[in-house]
Amino acid sequence: MIRYLLDEHVSPSIRQQLIRKSPDLVVWIIGDPDAPPKGASDPDLLTWCEEHEFFLITNNRKTMPSHLADHLTNGHHMPGILVVDPSRDIGQLLDELVLIAYASFENEYRDRIVYLPLEFW
């Protein structure tokens, strides 16, 4: 199952609400015991997520694409990065995170950045 690491700039209430909605989900926040410390660099977060097989949930639309490109260029991989829009509906975000966790194919998001909310046509 997919495990999530919330960037320190993403509201911690997302973890509480995700676990309330789906108690089986593993959702850690930067700064938790055994998670990267607060203030960790984006490249360090990507390395940690790769090593521990966590998806990164972030709102960093500006620099994360270049950090991922550098990470991949250096021969590394990433389970997935989900970039959230904090101005959008939290209920839709929670539903999409649960859907991704339970309905994704293995490696479906590997080495990719996906922007949430998903757009269904």
What CATH number has the domain bearing residue 109? 3.40.50
**Which domain, by its residues, includes 27?**
3-116
Number of structural domains the chain divides into: 1
Q: Is 84 helix (H, G, I), strand (E, B) or coil?
A: strand
Examine residue 121 and state whether it is found in any structural domain, yes or no. no
H helix or E strand, kind and range, residue 64: helix 64-73
Nearest to 86 by CA among 19, 14, 29, 25: 14
Give the whole-angstrom CA distance, residue 28 versus residue 48.
Answer: 12
Structure tokens that stand for 78 in this block: 């990433």
Residue 67 maps to a domain = yes
Interatomic CA distance for residues 90 and 86, integer angstroms: 8
The model's pTM is 0.94
**pLDDT by position in tens, the chain (length 121):** 899 999 999 999 999 999 999 999 999 999 999 999 999 999 999 999 999 999 999 999 999 999 999 999 999 999 999 999 888 889 999 999 999 999 999 999 999 999 998 765 4
Cα 60 from chain centroid (whole Å): 11
How far, in whole angstroms, is CA 108 from its chain's centroid? 14
